[in-house]
Amino acid sequence: MTQTLCAALINRAVAAITEHATELTELDQAIGDGDHGINMARGFGAIAEQGEALAALPLNQALQKAGMALVMKVGGASGPLYGSLLMSMGKALPEAPASLAGVAAAVAEGVAAVQKRGKSAPGEKTMLEVLVPVLQAMQADDGSDLPATLARLRAAADEGLESTRPMQATKGRASYLGERSVGHLDPGARSSALLVHATADVLEERL
Ligand SMILES: [Mg+2]
């Protein structure tokens, strides 16, 4: 039996985070406290544990529940930030999204929640360096050619991630390093890019 969209998204996101947990930890060791891989793996492990129950829900409800799991299970900044992202997206998403514009509107709510929760804006070397360009790419697209749209979203994520390398962090623990934060990818931007790719890959396969 084919997986539901919801189950496929959960499985791919969990796999992406689990497979890259060591890399996320190494990135965070360079400019943070080295817990990003462990925190994300713990959070997505909690989502995996609820996988069957989540997969039986409409996507909007599953996102809200997955977001709550992240808030409850993950210490550090990443749990509340990713939790806010998923919960706000889920709240704003229609039960059966009919257009890219509808999805983009929900993602916009999620990104706004991250900015509010993190009291942050793009340019501070955070996950927003990926999320904001991906959102803008969605908003600039009419969705008439979905493979092309997904390619643009992946490219926006990759460029956003790479843009964090020369940036000096002015938010979070990495900001304590000042100029020494320059020259490293931001771990939160990396995990965001992983999740954008995981989502785009699932959608592409199901076209
Ligand atoms: Mg950390």
**Mind listing the pLDDT tens digit for each residue in 145-175?**
999 999 999 999 999 999 999 999 998 888 8
Which one, of 68, 70, 76, lies nearest residue 173 by Cα?
76
**Distance from residue 142's CA to the centre of ligand 1 (Å):** 37
Q: Are 76 and 35 in contact (CB under 8 A)?
A: yes
* Chain position carrying tokens 């490293």: 184
**Distance from residue 21's CA to the centre of ligand 1 (Å):** 12
Q: Which residue stretches of the chain have pLDDT < 50?
A: none
**Distance from residue 175's CA to the centre of ligand 1 (Å):** 12
Write down the pTM of the prediction. 0.96
pLDDT of 97: 84
**Distance from residue 73's CA to the centre of ligand 1 (Å):** 15
**Distance from residue 19's CA to the centre of ligand 1 (Å):** 18
Q: Are 120 and 128 in contact (CB under 8 A)?
A: yes
Is it true that domain 5-205 has CATH number 3.40.50.620? no
User: Which segments of the chain does DSSP mark as H helices, in order?
Assistant: 5-19, 21-31, 36-49, 51-55, 59-73, 78-92, 100-118, 128-139, 146-163, 187-205
In whole angstroms, what is the distance from residue 48 CA to residue 114 CA?
23
pLDDT of 95: 87
In whole angstroms, what is the distance from residue 104 CA to residue 136 CA?
9
User: What is the rounded radius of gyration, in angstroms, for the C-alpha atoms of the chain?
Assistant: 16
Residues 175-202 pLDDT 10s: 889 899 999 999 999 999 999 999 999 9
pLDDT of 172: 83
- Positive or negative, the CA dihedral 189, 77, 109, 205 is positive
